Structure 1
Amino acid sequence: MSELQTIYVVDDDEAMRDSMTWLLEGEGYRVACFDSAESYLKARHDGLRGCLVLDVRMPEMSGLELHEKLDALGSTLPIIFVTGHGDVPMAVSALQRGACDFIEKPFHNEDLLGRIRRALELDAQMAARRERDGAITHRLDQLTQREREVLDLVVAGKLNKQIADELNISMKTVEAHRARVMEKMGVRTLAELVKAVMTTNA
């Protein structure tokens, strides 16, 4: 678990919040508890790391309604729904809409911990991807307009001669632009260049 990651527990049942806190803090996790979806929404901000353990049935705003609101806000925090037996179809529907996992009450502590470990790994992978994509976007922003034109044609599979003809410049100029593109993008091969550009378009 990264130093930045926190497990956010949203459940209107105080006894459940207390037992989850005891369990998770006992495993060395950082925990933040909320007694309603509304109180979590007030406290959340972009860039939270960790995972959300969310009760499906809560008064006023349900866990599923909170999930929809978080989707609209662009939240990427993995969500584990805690459900009663009758809520399983709703939880499956939530999985189809992007939730990470669900667990039925009553559950074994080890089962919950295993799901939380997977959710935290997913959060770490997504954070690494965002960081990588941000670095690539920053490098793309450093390219001149002409270098970007050359890059787009290289990635499209055009040869230097075809690029020269299309942009009405010499082969030597294409080679110079291409070399600067590779240097600015921090790549050594054409394959690395294509992969970098493709990831930002994914």
Structure 2
Amino acid sequence: MPIASNPLVYVVDDDTLIRSTLESILKVRNYRVSTFGSGIQFLQAKFEDDASCILLDMTMPGLSGLDVLKTLKERGCAIPVIFLTAHTDIVLSVLAMKAGAEDFLSKPIQTEQLLSSIEKAHEHCLGNLQSRALLDDLRCSYAALSDTELQVFNRVIRGRLNKQIAYELGYAERTIKAYRSSIMEKMKVNNLANLVLCSIQLGLLE
């Protein structure tokens, strides 16, 4: 997935002035900004997967920031969340971090602190996107295996020898060697250790 040269930041805050101020600060730094006045409004929007982060007010009328984050996690949304709050509260900070927040900033927000936090979130986002792209490629490679190759694959990653697999499946050992070579090629690996690693990433082995 291509990464935008001007990353997107979502701003979710019921305070119009704060939304406007944050939007102005970020646009000067070449960020795209999309603002929302409530958690409900935000959750009804369609998200871009490559967004750098969500600046999310902790205490909004209706759904709180924590409620919004919980819903995002339930949907499988991996966009980093930076909480904003006018009330410094250690308990809230702990809850935010346990819920999976990237950072927790107190209002009034210092510009340099904000930009630093967003940059870290952006790097985290890029890492997530790259990991997801690699996993998608791995899944495509696995899906390209034939039924017999899958049978061989599942035995190879569990330590079966070629002669054992040949006996179990009723093939000549040289045939199993050929299947094994084809599996390695399709999975884009050159040794058993990497094949086992692929199977772990695919969730086939613990």
Report the TM-score, using the length of structure 2 for normalisation: 0.90
Residue number among 111, 134, 143 corresponding to 2:145 in the alignment:
143
Unaligned runs of at least 5 residues, structure 1: none
On the 8 A contact 1:11/1:36 being kept in 2, the answer is yes
Which amino acid counterpart does residue 181 of structure 1 have in structure 2?
Answer: I
Q: Is the 8 A contact 2:52 2:79 kept in 1?
A: yes
Identity %: 35
1:157 pairs, out of 159, 162, 185, with 159
Q: Which residue of the partner structure matches residue 18 of structure 2?
A: 16
Q: Take 2:161 and 2:7, find their aligned partners in 1: how far apart are those partners?
A: 46
Compare 187-196 and 115-124 and name the one that shifted more.
187-196
Instruction: Return the match for 2:64 from 62, 65, 76.
Output: 62
CA-CA distance at 1:4 after TM superposition:
7.0
What is the alpha-carbon distance in structure 2 between the residues aligned to residue 86 and residue 35 of structure 1? 21
- Alignment partner for residue 123 of structure 2, among 97, 121, 125? 121
Match among 30, 33, 44 for residue 32 of structure 2: 30
Quote the residue 1:5 is aligned against: 7
Secondary structure in 2 matching 1:85: coil
- Give the superposition deviation at 1:46: 6.5
How far is 1:88 from its partner?
A: 3.6
Cα shift at 1:147: 0.5
Deviations 1:19-57 (A, max 9, x none): 111111111111111111111112124735321000001
Deviation at 1:131, TM superposition (A): 0.9
Counterpart CA distance in 2 for 1:3 and 1:103 is 26
Aligned residue for 2:20, secondary structure, equals: helix
Which amino acid in the other structure matches residue 19 of structure 1? Answer: T
In the alignment, residue 141 of structure 1 is paired with which amino acid? A
Cα RMSD (Å) of the superposition?
Answer: 1.8
Q: Deviations over 1:64-120 (max 9, x none)?
A: 111111111111111000123344412321211222111112232111111100111
Residue 157 of structure 1: CA displacement?
A: 2.1
User: For 1:38 and 1:4, how far apart are their aligned partners in 2?
Assistant: 26
Match in the other structure for 1:40: 42
Structure 2 residue aligned with 1:134, among 136, 141, 144? 136
Q: 1:92 to 1:44 in 2, by over 3 A?
A: farther
TM-score using structure 1 length: 0.92
